[in-house]
Structure 1
Amino acid sequence: MGVAVEVRNTAPPRLHLVFAGLGLAFLVIFSWVLFHEGAAEWRTTQARFRRLETTVKNPHQLAQAAGVGGLRQIWLPDLGRVDRCETCHLGIDDPAFARAPAPFAAHPGTWLSTHPTDRFGCTPCHDGQGQATDYATVAHQPQPFVTRPMRPLETIEANCGVCHRALDPPDAPRLAEGRRLIVESGCFSCHEIPGFEGMTFRGPSLDSIGYKVRPAWLTSWLKDPKGYLPQSKMGNFRLSSDEIGSLQGFLLSQRAQVPLDSTGVDWKKADTANGRALFGELRCVSCHAVNGRGGTAGPELTRIGDKVRRDWLFSYLKDPHRVQADTPMLQYRLSDPQWRDVTAFLLEQYSSADTGAEPPPVTYQDARVLAAGRAVFERRGCPSCHRLAAIKDAGRIGPSLAGIADRDPDELPYGTNVVRHTTDNYIFLKVLLPDTLGQTSTMPTFAFTPADAAKIALALASIRKTDLPASYVLRRPAPVPYRPGGKFGELVARYRCLSCHTVGGFGGDLSTVPLDRIGSQLQRDYLVKYLLNPGAVRVSVEARMPVFHMLPDEAKTIADYFSMVFLDDGVEQYDTRFTAEEARRGQELYGQLGCQACHQLGTKGGYVGPELSETGARLRPGWIAAWLSKPQIYKPGTLQPDYGLSGADARALTAYLTSLGRSPAAKARGGNAQ
């Protein structure tokens, strides 16, 4: 027989109300979430896209199109990112939406062909909050406590540099210019900078500066380098008067090497007119600027008469490698009277005023002055850029810049500068105005313009703490130093060929002609002739190759080495048994392709490309054919069009071009020098 059990709710009435309230609150919240999700910004955006799609695509395209709906998400496990940007940017990879309004427009340019979103996403290039799905929090607008808001277009190249580690990344001109300025300014001499490992920046050696400079010049230089030379690479260290006095005394006491004896030089016979002519003949302005015009590889010469002593300048011009072993300046073959005339011309022509008689050498013997000057020299980090045998290089004086782009903007000093507190702004101010950030900074103030400082800051903003997987990083291997031996090596060292040219990427960048395949490009006899008397090949470009006054045997040694060693295996020996019909057909092609628009023959034609009148005596036929067939392979970015020539057409053009400038004897032989 069952027992009936009565169950009573013994909970207090007040608890009933609590449960009822909680249930109601849950219902309200749930309803609000459903409403909010149903009315989410991304849903309305997708609805707008569907309407736009019907106006952009035809019915067939619409039938082929993938359906739009729901969150779109890209997971990048290698980068630790999740991007939902394509939830709204629905036409990002569809050319049909090239002219559509934001956010439906296709991505501009051809970036997605090399950076597909399924591998790179969006935020690695643009920054911002990839998981957000509305306009405000996705960081199209600045948000508090968001360390990486979406980058504006003017600084977006900083993110190119995160992956592209070469100094000249493709299609990122501001980044490339910023990195060039870092190299030119030698920032890595004081700071460890990832990507610039192994690079060295050296100002002139100071071992014999006591013989080199005038005391008055040194005082003004230490006070304000830009006052003497507006383009100075040396910054203003904001030295006190006491620091300048003691540092001047210390430097003028450095006299490790006596200048060459010039007592036999009759300075009264100096011919400044001949010195001027030699200055032009040697093409000194290829490396040295005068009044703002000329090269930048060597020091500015506008006021050299205010700076250097006569005996030192004569000694340096005559044998620069003795005075400064690592100087990039070549050693010419001139006589003492010729160097006397050049020295007199420089000191007379390029001075701001009458500098008066040559001042006597100043000897500092006060041990306290010398010790104080040495302390300033070391404390200010001068050994980072200048070699001085009396002082051991103590390494970089500045902090490492590794991970500078990831520094917390709220922990950085901004001084009295009224700017948004961002890491980018801090870097910009540190580069442009290092003494305004409220710190006791030893960093000098450089002569950067705001535009240059912005480019340097952009380059530094690409340096992150966390490195990327190797598959995402593009870096160019460091060139292997090239130091040839033997007689050829001696000549390369004497004439400093690698100050302007490169071999395997090693060397200077003043010339646009690397030497790696020069033996496959130029005929040996032409090389000899050119080295003895270099001239301009392009009508629009001044001749910049120095006139070395090289000995004929030296020119032959260099030309022989080039012709035997610096060869390109891809440029094969070429059959030069051209027929008259091939040359005639080549002449027709020359006109049909419009070659005369850029190249000059005689007095007719354009000024963009090389002059071609002497092509047959200058270039090797195999090189001409290879260049005409695939110019971009040999010089990426060249203005020379790739016409897609057939082998027969390339040969015909080669036959015509090799007939230009050849001697009658060569034409009679029907061939051409290889």
Structure 2
Amino acid sequence: MKLSIRQLGLVSVLCTALLGVVIWALYSEYDRPWKIYQQQFRQLNPGSSAKDNPARIKQIWNEELGAVDRCVTCHEGTDNPLFLDAGQPFKTHPGSYLKHHPVDKFGCVICHDGQGPALTADAAHGEVDNWPRPVLRGAFVQYSCIKCHKMEQLLSGSTAPDGASALIAGWRLFTQYNCSGCHRMSEVNKAARIGPSLTFIGNKVNRTWLINWLRNPGDYLPKTKMPRFNFRDEEIGFITDYLMSIRSSSRGVLQYAPTGHIRPSDALTAIEGKQLVSSLGCLGCHMINGNGSNFAPDFSDIGNKVNHGWLIQFLKAPRAYDPKTIIPDFKLSDYDAEKIAAYLVSLKKNTVIPATAGIQRKDWIPGLTRNDKIKTFPNRNDLLSDSITKGKKLVKDKGCTGCHEIERLPAVYNAPDLFKVGDKRIDVLTFGNINKIKKTLKDWMLVKVTDPGSFATDRIISRMPQFDFNDVQAEALVTYLLSLREDPIPPSYKMTVSGRDRLRYEAATVIDKYNCRGCHVIGTTGGIIGPDLSSEGRKSRPEWLFTFLKSPYKIRPLPMLKARMPEFNLSEREINTIIEYLSSLSDEPYPYNFETKKEIGREDIWNGEKLYQEIFACSGCHTVNGRGGQVGPDHTDLASRLKRDWIRQWLENPQAIKPDVSMPRFRFKDWELEALTDYLMTLGIHRFIDIKGVD
């Protein structure tokens, strides 16, 4: 069959086009970017040559992960320390991560995301349309640590040698701000409420303060965890009326019967109250005019917030008002409670924001005229009742019960689930009218946690409040949120959680919850209000520690310490966790080993007592059964509290254990040291010594 001239022309055009495609393909393959990078790498690396290291696609085939990783085709210097100062893609991987995570086993994508099989920069980095996981850089990469390391290990510091600081910080923020109060994190567990109980808040605060607080909590407490909901004035009015209606005159803690000793305006009383606040260690948790800690609310303006009578009763019995509060009970007398309350209510800042402007009832019921009030609400009580009903509905709708106990309202989730938020696809995210950010999950999250209202449109309602996270906090929080995804990782890659790691994690949870380091040094950090607890496991008997933490009592005279230990409502599990952790810090066995009682004669006891009472005059500083000095700790129940070995080491050289201690070093002879130790071991309800001839 002969082709026509027209057909021949078409064939020649097609052949020419095909030839062009072939030539273009050959040329583009010859000049691939990865080949150029490998050529440049050989020039930078004197020990490499084209003959020994020809241009080729390099890949890591990880059968267990089921992944192909060709990142090393361009990133050839990633595990070569000679390229620390080189630019990308030749730069050595920072830190010592690869020492514990060799490239040939882990590859790159397992940590950094991206598209492993790709060979161009954009495609390999996943920065192309429809690729769900583009490469993550900087601190965001730390999200992947959770794939193999549980949070218990990361918090203990036993793994991830270069740290996962952003991931850990994000987890802490997520926990401290109680994100799971609104967002479901599991099918079973509901997060604990972190905010104070609002049941009977009408007895606690004044209306003016509450209105200002609802308008913007940060104006009163700049470091508050309470977000800004951007309520309309009418909503503030409704919520205020509802919350102020929650009051009681029958609950004992809310009833105030003054002793008659003092008046709130008594200046001398306020001074005495200030001294008590300092001596009791309140500044270990609270801030007053720039002094103290940010663990708990700042007291600098508390006088504009709380009612005086309520405060007195709360100081006397915090758990009578809120059974779940972590505020300790200081067992204050009526007089001391009144003095502290007088000082606290005197703390008022000069700047007062007009609270009622725009929130009068005529304003927060839109469009309601005087005549309408008469028609719709025949009397003031009907008007107030309607407002309270609307306020209660707002409290439930806005998710307030996720953080606060309010009457018996149930805690409900009013926001999307987060337990797989790291797997969200881009096509299900709503970007609103924002066009200036990259269409990635990471970038969407960054905007969501810093400015959630920016996604709102006429059709999209933003319910999330404003938390005012800074850039560092936002980066950390997003890093943690990205870790909430399902990644099938082989068991051989996952680190086993050791008992020590789990203990450190559980202990950190308890210690952080009650802010133990606000007063005590534990390990390497903490306050100086109370004694250093780093070696407490070597010093104290676990059974005594349990009793003491359950119900603390005075051991040392107050001048020796700045504060006395209050009573925390610790559970038995929390107490045992603390004791086990303190034992581990001192490398002491737990459960503990009962020591063998030493058998001694009566003469040995008499010799020890004579040394204690007469020769070295220990009773001049220490009390035994109510007799003696008030300079050092009480020795009445010493044998029940302290371990024999520690007592002996302390007597031998107190400064070796506590360099700044005021107790002198007596340089005892060996027999004196032994006799004194034996005598001290008889001072206690539970004697850890057997006396010959005594049943």
Code of the residue aligned with 1:322 in structure 2: it is A
Structure 2 unaligned spans of 5+: 354-379, 524-531, 568-573, 597-632, 682-695
Residue 216 of structure 1 is matched in structure 2 by 208
Out of 333, 336, 349, the residue aligned to residue 335 of structure 1 is 333
* 1:259 partner SS: helix
Which residue does 2:571 correspond to in 1? Answer: none
The 5-angstrom pairing of residues 118-157 of structure 1 reads: 118-139=104-125, 142-157=127-142
Name the SS of the counterpart of 1:75 in structure 2.
strand
Query: How far apart are the structure 2 equivalents of 1:567 and 1:327?
Result: 28
1:421 is matched with 439
Q: Which of residues 441, 446, 450 is equivalent to 2:467?
A: 446
Give the letter for the 1:155 counterpart.
Answer: F
Alignment of structure 1 residues 415-564 onto 2, 5 Å:
415-416=433-434, 418-438=436-456, 439-473=460-494, 508=514, 510-511=516-517, 513=522, 520-523=537-540, 532-533=555-556, 546-548=563-565
Alpha-carbon shift at residue 195 of structure 1 (Å): 12
What aligned pairs does 1:360-439 form with structure 2 within 5 A after superposition?
366-393=384-411, 395-409=412-426, 411-416=429-434, 418-438=436-456, 439=460
Partner-residue secondary structure (3-state), 1:82 = strand
**Of 77, 95, 100, the match for 1:114:** 100
Rate the CA distance shift 1:13–1:417 in 2: closer, same or farther, 3 A: closer
Counting only pairs closer than 5 Å after superposition, residues 62-141 of structure 1 correspond to structure 2 as 67-139=53-125
1:211/1:258 contact within 8 Å kept: no
Structure-2-length-normalised TM-score: 0.67
Q: C-alpha displacement at 1:131, in angstroms?
A: 1.9
Does the CA-based 8 Å contact 1:230-1:447 persist in structure 2?
no
Q: Name the CA distance, whole Å, in 2 between partners of 1:103 and 1:562.
A: 48
Partner of 2:322: 324
Q: Which has the higher contact order (CA 8 A, sep 6+)?
A: 2
Return the alpha-carbon distance in structure 2 between the equivalents of residues 536 and 197 of structure 1.
46
- After superposition, the C-alpha distances for 1:232-282 in whole angstroms (9 at most, x for unaligned) are 211122222222222222212212534354324115355112111111000
Following superposition, the deviation at residue 664 of structure 1 comes to 3.1
Is 1:237 aligned with 2:229? yes
1:239-318 paired onto structure 2 within 5 Å? 239-256=231-248, 257-259=251-253, 261-266=255-260, 268=262, 271-318=269-316
Change (3 A) 1:481 1:248: farther
Q: CA deviation at 1:472?
A: 4.2
How many angstroms apart in 2 are the aligned matches of 1:570 and 1:350?
A: 49
> Partners of 1:193 and 1:563 in 2: how far apart?
30
Q: Give the equivalent residue in structure 1 for 2:666.
A: 664
Distance 1:503 1:109, change over 3 A: closer
The CA deviation string for residues 312-359 of structure 1, in whole angstroms up to 9 with x for no partner, is: 10011011111111111111133211111111011113454799xxxx
What is the aligned partner in structure 2 of residue 637 from structure 1?
Answer: none
- CA shift in 2, pair 1:425/1:92, >3 Å: closer
Q: In the aligned structure 2, how far is the partner of 1:400 from the partner of 1:367?
A: 35
Q: Is the 8 A contact 1:166 1:475 kept in 2?
A: no
Tell me the amino acid that sits aligned with residue 150 of structure 1.
V
* SS of residue paired to 2:61: strand
Please say if residues 417 and 437 of structure 1, whose CA atoms lie closer than 8 Å, have aligned partners that are also in contact: no
Instruction: Report whether the alignment pairs 1:48 with 2:71.
Output: no
* Rounded Cα–Cα distance in structure 2 between residues aligned with 1:284 and 1:45: 62
Q: CA–CA distance in 2 between the matches of 1:96 and 1:182?
A: 40
Q: Which amino acid aligns with 1:513?
A: I
Contact between 1:502 and 1:509, CA under 8 Å: does it hold in 2? no
Aligned to 2:68, the other structure's residue is in SS state strand
Q: Residues 226 and 405 (structure 1 numbering): CA distance in 2 closer, same or farther, change over 3 Å?
A: same
Contact 1:94 1:106 in 2 (8 A): yes
Give, in whole Å, the separation in 1 of the partners of 2:536 and 2:222.
42
Residues 404, 464 of structure 1: 8 Å contact kept: yes
Q: Quick check: 2:326–2:514 contact (8 Å CA) kept in 1?
A: no
205-214 or 455-464, which deviates more: 455-464
Structure 2 distance, partners of 1:306, 1:655, is 49
Per-residue Cα deviation, 1:106-148 (whole angstroms, up to 9, x for no partner): 32221111222223211222233322223344339x4444443
Q: What SS does the corresponding residue of 2:346 show, helix, strand or coil?
A: helix
1:371 is displaced (CA, Å) by: 1.6
Equivalent residue, structure 1, for 2:372: none
1:665: how far off? 7.7
Cα deviation 1:561-609 (Å, max 9, x = unaligned): 999997459547999xxxxxxxxxxxxxxxxxxxxxxxxxxxxxxxxxx
RMSD: 4.8
Q: CA deviation at 1:23?
A: 5.5
Range moving further from structure 2, 503-512 or 44-53:
503-512
- From the superposition, tell whether residues 367 and 211 of structure 1 become closer, same or farther in structure 2 (CA, over 3 Å): same
Distance 1:524 1:95, change over 3 A: same
Is 1:174 aligned with 2:174?
no
Taking structure 1 as reference, are residues 166 and 480 closer, same or farther at Cα in structure 2, changes over 3 Å only?
A: closer
Structure 1 residues 280-324: Cα deviation after superposition (integer angstroms, max 9, x where no partner): 000101011223442233222111111111111001101111111
Work out the CA distance in 2 between the residues paired with 1:115 and 1:623: 43
**For residues 31 and 90 of structure 1, do their structure 2 counterparts lie closer, same or farther at Cα, with a shift above 3 Å needed?**
same
Residue 75 of structure 1 deviates from its aligned partner by 2.2
Give the counterpart letter for 2:67 in structure 1: R
- The number of equivalent residue pairs is 554
Stretch moving more, 564-573 or 82-91: 564-573
SS at match of 1:349: coil
* Distance in 2 (alpha carbons) for counterparts of 1:136 and 1:561: 50
Kindly indicate whether the alpha-carbon contact (under 8 Å) linking 1:501 and 1:510 is maintained by their aligned counterparts in 2.
no
Q: Is the 8 A contact 1:85 1:122 kept in 2?
A: yes
Identity score, percent: 27
Letter in 2 for 1:532: I
Whole-Å separation in 2 of the counterparts to 1:501 and 1:28: 70
Please state how far the C-alpha of 1:214 moved relative to its aligned partner. Answer: 0.9
CA separation of 1:202 and 1:303: change in aligned 2, threshold 3 A: same
Corresponding residue SS for 2:29: helix
Instruction: Confirm or deny: 8 A CA contact 1:125 1:159 kept in the other structure.
Output: yes
**2:501 & 2:5 partners in 1: Cα distance?**
88
What are the within-5 Å matches in structure 2 for residues 612-631 of structure 1?
none
Equivalent position amino acid for 1:664 in 2: F
The answer for unaligned runs of 5 or more in structure 1 is: 1-8, 356-362, 483-497, 538-542, 551-557, 576-613, 625-652
Contact 1:83-1:121 at 8 Å conserved across structures: yes
Q: Deviations over 1:151-171 (max 9, x none)?
A: 232533334455444175641
Q: Deviations over 1:354-375 (max 9, x none)?
A: 99xxxxxxx9774322222211
Between the aligned partners of 2:141 and 2:218, the Cα distance in structure 1 is 32
Q: 1:19 to 1:442 in 2, by over 3 A?
A: closer
CA–CA separation in structure 2 for the residues paired with 1:78 and 1:90 = 23
